[in-house]
Amino acid sequence: MSERRQDGILAVRYRSRPRPSDRVALRRLVARNGFHGASMSAVAAEAGVAAGTAYVHYASKDDLVLAAYLEVKRELGTAAVADLDPTAAAEARFLHMWHRIHRHLAADPDRARFLIQVNGSPYARTAHEMAMATDGDPMMAEAAKPDMTSKLVSLPPEVLYDLGFGPAVRLAAEGKRVPTSVLNTLAQACWRAITKPEAVVRPRSTGRRRTARVR
């Protein structure tokens, strides 16, 4: 089972040092078969260990799901900011992260499918709260920079994330190769979806109308 921290966010409780193979096995099964096809015995079989072994490391399936989710999100955040130029404009940084997210997930579409499964499940709220409460998230750090926040529309963080990066995740989950031109267009559309519209400067009217001279 999970235990509740003082801040009210559920924390994953481990029985002993967990193994990456348990989380990878669960991620693959959920991505391909959904949560109903990812029992702890199925996870053990996928990981190539004896049935019930996962319970040695995790108190419950819920804890294993949340641990796998946090791992995927942590790896995604690291990939998103790799080689990011901190001096670049906010839009350029967003586009960089968007493409990096798609590239990272497209290399292993099961990661993207797993994220989509979690986001559409009863685990979503707890998983999102835990991810938001994680210290040192590089994507959250980028979103909190003044030049970025000044451009973002006033929406909850999870809504901004879904509008901004959700299409990259869903596209990667399809496992299809997408032309670079399409990816560029989609990334720019996502940026427009989460940012305030730029003020349109219109020429001031003098209120006078010109009339053509008749010669």
Query: Does 7 score more than 70 pLDDT?
Result: no
Instruction: Please give the pLDDT value at position 20.
Output: 53
Judge whether 199 lies within some domain: no
* Percent of the chain at pLDDT exceeding 90: 66
Full residue range of the structural domain in which residue 182 is found: 3-194
Q: Is 189 exposed, middle or buried (0-12, 13-18, 19+ CB in 10 A)?
A: exposed
Judge whether 44 lies within some domain: yes
Judge whether 67 lies within some domain: yes
Instruction: Please give the pLDDT value at position 185.
Output: 97
Judge whether 208 lies within some domain: no
Averaged pLDDT of the chain: 84
Q: Higher-confidence residue: 142 or 208? A: 142
Query: Does 214 score more than 50 pLDDT?
Result: no
Judge whether 206 lies within some domain: no
Judge whether 212 lies within some domain: no
Judge whether 62 lies within some domain: yes
Three-point CA angle 102, 177, 89, nearest 5°: 35
The pLDDT tens digits for 53-73 are: 666 778 888 999 999 999 999
Question: What is the three-state SS of 80-131?
Answer: HCCCCCCCCCHHHHHHHHHHHHHHHHHCCHHHHHHHHHHHCCCCHHHHHHHH
Judge whether 136 lies within some domain: yes
- Overall number of domains in the chain: 1
| For residues 7-29, average pLDDT | 63
| Integer Cα distance of 133 and 115 in angstroms | 18
| For residues 79-93, average pLDDT | 96
| For residues 112-137, average pLDDT | 92
| Integer Cα distance of 160 and 171 in angstroms | 17
What CATH code is carried by the domain that includes residue 97?
Answer: 1.10.357.10
Query: Does 15 score more than 70 pLDDT?
Result: no
pTM (predicted TM-score): 0.81
Q: Which of 12-16, 17-21, 162-166, 194-198 is predicted with the least confidence, judged by mean pLDDT?
A: 12-16
150 φ, ψ (degrees, to nearest 5): -70, -20
Query: Does 33 score more than 90 pLDDT?
Result: yes
Instruction: Please give the pLDDT value at position 8.
Output: 39
Instruction: Please give the pLDDT value at position 36.
Output: 92
Instruction: Please give the pLDDT value at position 125.
Output: 93
